[in-house]
Amino acid sequence: MDQLLTANVATNLYWLGRSLERIELTLSEINRAYDKIIDVNTQAGVELYQKFHIDLNYTGVRDFLNQAIRGEHSANIANLMVNARENAIIARPNIDASTFGEIIELHLFCQEMTQSTLNIDYNDIDNILSLINEIWGAHSKKGKRQASDYFLKLGKLIEEVDFRLRFNKTQEMTDVMIKEIYVIINILETEGDAKQSQSQTNGVPLDIMADIYHRVDQLIIE
């Protein structure tokens, strides 16, 4: 790779990846909770947001979508998208035009949805997820990878691993993602030959995650 990134641009690419993935995964969990509220458990939304350390109150399934997506809390989708847009603007020279345009389109959609007086419905969530899939799809089709691509993918993977650990997803797939994270870190490190910590607790490499965050910090600082 012959691409040089400033620490500021690398940081914003990394957090752009994390923000987009956080929105996508949060909406996927909202979808699951929505179905449960309708069919089997009216408290499914409360239980979901407890995992985000948020007390979410709603009067019914429709109000759940409104409160989950545009309520006044830290997991507000529009606010998360504001962060992603700011990341994208700062890293603009290292994002291709079509991807940048889709990010801006997604931001505008989220803002309009939040400011609307109409109730949020299932289609709004599907539209957001579709736009995010288009962003990741365009990214995956790129040929030769540059440092900017790797920092964006690194943020995406780390956010997904964080979610998987929080929601107790299957460990096998989590381990695959952790290995992929290390592959990217090794590519980005100037000296390479990164080594994983070997200590694990109940199969979950807690110290490895701490090591990953440390290594990412080092990559960005350097």
Q: pLDDT tens digit string along 20-75?
A: 999 999 999 999 999 999 999 999 999 999 999 999 999 999 999 999 999 999 89
pLDDT exceeds cutoff 50 at 195: no
Angstrom distance (rounded) from CA 153 to CA 170: 21
pTM (2 d.p.): 0.88
Cβ within 8 Å of residue 132, ≥6 positions away: 20, 23, 24, 106
Nearest-angstrom CA–CA distance, 59 and 42: 10
Q: Across all residues in the chain, what is the average pLDDT?
A: 88
Looking at residue 45, what is its pLDDT? 97
Residue 176 backbone zone (phi > 0: left; psi -120 to 50: alpha; other: beta): alpha
Cα separation, 128 vs 1, whole angstroms:
33
- Confidence check: pLDDT of 206 > 70: no
Going by the DSSP 8-state scheme, the letter that residue 71 receives in this structure is S
183 token code pair? 């592959």
Determine contact, residues 35/92, Cβ cutoff 8 Å.
Answer: no
The mean pLDDT of 202-216, rounded to a whole number, is 74
Please say if the pLDDT value at position 137 is more than 90. Answer: no
C-alpha distance from residue 116 to each of 66, 110, 121, 141 (Å): 11, 10, 12, 35
